[in-house]
Chain A
Amino acid sequence: METLRINGKEKQFQDGLPATLAQLLEQLQIDDATVVAELDGKIIERAQFAHTSLSSGQAIELVRFVPGG
């Protein structure tokens, strides 16, 4: 079973991993316009989401701006 560790939690992908980061966000229904992504500790530029491929076992951090003081 292919998995990704997203925001610290393991997620299994029964139908196989999304091919790219952009597709992952679409699958999760996350608007990519306000999200910052880190793949295995490296920050991915938004312009690169569609060109960043994923493989099983990778760790992804998805972070966005929220209200704060």
Chain B
Amino acid sequence: MTDELIIADRKFGSRLLVGTGKFSSSQVMAEAIAASGTEIVTVALRRVDIENENDDMLAAIDRDKFLLLPNTSGARDADEAVRLSKLARAATGINWVKLEVTPDPYYLLPDPIETLKAAEILVSEGFVVLPYINADPVLAKRLEDAGTATVMPLASPIGSNQGLKTRAAIEIIIEQANVPVVVDAGLGRPSHAADAMEMGADAVLVNTAIATAAESTKMAQAFKLAVEAGRTAFLSGPAAASPAASASSPLTGFLRDDK
């Protein structure tokens, strides 16, 4: 029995999604992505700098091997996010989008109201929407109702590497979700990723921790192993701890001589 990650109508063997930002060079990025075993990489959209034509960092990514998942980072409201999504779709023909609406430039925390608004519009226009949100269980259900393909709650703010600060809320989201839950943002160490997978997350998305490591390729490999370990642990069930013994039975003693 395979344990594939299924998002919308596609199956993936890897439960590690990788972001392409913050790498020191396109070569390092390409090697790290390969080492991670990922099948989905996120990219952003930016205006071309017409004064300086840069290297196209993404030329290094083999579009046949990886699903390029455009994000709408930079969008500060639903309209901007929708516009960016349509631009992205025009470029690739793929209708998948990571919906990211972050008006706050300090912590890059997602705006729940604009995210829900944008999700509803994008779903109605045929997009496969993967929304980035704070770990808000009710918002996650509202987005699911709106038809998003996943929910992507943050563990801690983007780039903070603080791990599962929102653990309790993510547990609730995982318990209640009918779509895959991808823990995204703030996973600073492979152990954080393993922890998220042990909790029952369907996948994780990692960028900063890999891109800014001293050796990105090794770190990518570590995350790959951590995600696999966490998932295997989740599937094998938890170990038993022994319950307290009790000598008397104040609550159930009445049943003893009973029929």
Q: Could you tell me which A residues sit within 8 Å of B by CB distance?
A: 6-8, 11, 28-31, 34-36, 38, 43-46, 61-69
User: Is B20 positioned at the interface, with any CB of A under 8 Å from its CB?
Assistant: yes
Chain A nearest CB from B203 CB (Å) reads 15
In the complex, B229 has a CB within 8 A of chain A: no
Interface residues of B in 179-213 (CB under 8 A from A): 185, 205, 207-208
The answer to whether A34 and B71 touch across the interface, beta carbons within 8 angstroms, is no
Is A64 a contact partner of B50 (Cβ separation < 8 A)? no
Tell whether, in the assembled complex, residue B47 and residue A69 are in contact, meaning their CB atoms are under 8 Å apart. no
Whether A63 pairs with B50 at a CB distance below 8 angstroms is no
Report A-chain residues with C-beta under 8 Å of the C-beta of B43: 65-68
Give the chain A neighbours of B58 by CB distance below 8 A. Answer: 34, 65-67
Interface residue ranges of B1-25 to A (CB < 8 Å): 19-23
Please state if A36 and B87 are interface contacts (CB–CB under 8 Å): yes
- Least CB distance, B42 to chain A, in whole angstroms: 6
Give a binary string over B54-90; 1 marks a CB under 8 Å from any A CB, 0 the rest.
0011110000000010110100000000000011101
The contact string, 1 if C-beta is below 8 Å from chain A, for chain B 21-64, is: 11100000100000000000011111110100100111100000
- Chain A residue numbers with a CB within 8 Å of B158 are 69
A63 contacts B71, CB within 8 Å?
A: no
CB pair A43–B86 under 8 Å, yes or no, is: yes
Please determine whether A68 and B53 come into contact, CB atoms closer than 8 angstroms: no
Q: A65 to B90, Cβ gap below 8 A?
A: no
Main secondary structure of the interface of A (DSSP, over half): strand
- Other A-B pairs, 9, CB within 8 Å; known A34-B56, A65-B70, A69-B208: A30-B48, A34-B91, A35-B91, A63-B47, A63-B48, A64-B91, A66-B46, A68-B71, A69-B42
Tell whether, in the assembled complex, residue B87 and residue A43 are in contact, meaning their CB atoms are under 8 Å apart.
yes
Taking a contact as CB atoms under 8 Å apart, the answer to whether A63 and B46 are in contact is: yes
List B contacts of A61 (CB < 8 A): 47, 87
Complex: how many Å from CA A43 to CA B45?
A: 14
Closest to B44 in A: A68
Known: A6-B50, A68-B71, A69-B22. A36 touches B56 (CB 8 A): no
Contacts A29-B53, A69-B73 given: A62-B47 contact, CB under 8 Å? yes
Cβ of A46: which chain B residues have Cβ within 8 Å of it?
90-91
Are B73 and A31 in contact, with the CB atoms below 8 A?
no
B44 contacts which chain A residues (CB < 8 A)?
65-69
A66→B45 CA distance, assembly (Å): 6
